Amino acid sequence: MNVRRLFRANTVSRLFQFIGCVLGTASVMAESPATISKGNGNAWKLHNEVVSLDVAFKDGRLALAYLTNLQAKVDYLAGQPPAPLFSHGIDGGLVTADDGGWILAGATVSDIECYGQKWGKRLEISLSRSQPVAILTRQVFEIYNGRAALRYSSWVKNLTDHELTIQTSDVLSLNLPDIPHTLYAIDGVLNWQESKGGLTNGGRNALVRYDTGGGWFIIPENNWATCLEPGRAKAHSKDKLLGIFAWDGAKTVRVATNPKAVQLVLFPKEEVEYFAVNLGVFTGDAMDGRMAVAEHYPADLRQPNYH
């Protein structure tokens, strides 16, 4: 059974946005501003004090070319095989960011502004296609001032005259290096788990510290439990909207939707805001990683599911 609409918690997100604006105004002026610069062709560099990444569109494909931890002086994508940045299973078919079927419909760079303050920069890349299905997606990259992280999200639009159903999605997929590390994640409410291996269907976060020092964190937004089987099953924490999968039999680290919990039905010509993921880097130990998360969210204006 499909939901009529994607379950959204945007009202909660907007409340945290207001709180973040109020609490963060005093410190935002002391932070170095984030920048987005245009490179050769359809390429953009996003940069702040701690992270730098390149986004490029070429030959019908959208990809991250670099993801650099500036303090550790490491590009986590260097030498790694490419992975599709996103993918959608739509009415039994599959479209991916790197399948060569996209047309660049536009790209804009703007300030992230709230209550008279500029919090960072926003890059929005619009992609369209007609085969195997006519859709348009707006991929949004928001980089915040100072030591904050990246917020990556998207909008999806049905360009057809009939309903479309997005059954499954990899909201974000990166081929981050599986080298000696410790992975930290929260199981349940406040139960931290450590692993030298991977993660399957993590919910709140994943924080990886490499043995060489430093690492990265991924935190999905809007990750509450739900269910698509009314009368047959009850919502359960294991049926969260999004799952984090890190090196669990595949080489990639990805945030994927759970088709039991959420499927998106799009009316003809309808556009809907889809899911968002926060992605950041740090240097030091696991506590430095948690501090990096804390430094991100006052600037990110939202403070979603992290404890």
Residues 6 or more apart whose Cβ sits within 8 Å of residue 250: none
123-137 in b/e burial notation, b at 16+ Cβ within 10 A? bbbbbbbeeebebbb
- CA separation for the pair 63, 81 (Å, rounded): 12
User: Does the residue 49 lie in any domain?
Assistant: yes
Position 20 pLDDT exceeds 60: no
Residue span of the structural domain in which 268 resides: 10-300
Query: CATH no. for residue 147?
Result: 2.70.98.60
- pTM for the complete prediction? 0.85
Helices H, strands E: what count in the chain? 2, 21
User: Does the residue 162 lie in any domain?
Assistant: yes
User: Does the residue 305 lie in any domain?
Assistant: no
- CA separation for the pair 307, 299 (Å, rounded): 17
User: Does the residue 5 lie in any domain?
Assistant: no
Side by side, the strands of the sheet bearing 51-58 are 35-38, 43-47, 51-58, 61-69, 74-75
User: Does the residue 186 lie in any domain?
Assistant: yes
- CA separation for the pair 241, 97 (Å, rounded): 21
| pLDDT for the residue numbered 117 | 86
Q: What digits encode the pLDDT tens for the residues 92-119? A: 999 999 999 999 999 999 999 887 888 8
Number of compact structural domains in the chain: 1
- CA separation for the pair 121, 206 (Å, rounded): 25
Q: What digits encode the pLDDT tens for the residues 279-297? A: 999 999 989 888 888 888 7
User: Does the residue 87 lie in any domain?
Assistant: yes
User: Does the residue 16 lie in any domain?
Assistant: yes
- Comparing 307 with 98, which gets the higher pLDDT? 98
Six token digits for residue 117:
């303050």
- Comparing 231 with 299, which gets the higher pLDDT? 231
User: Does the residue 306 lie in any domain?
Assistant: no
DSSP state of 149: -
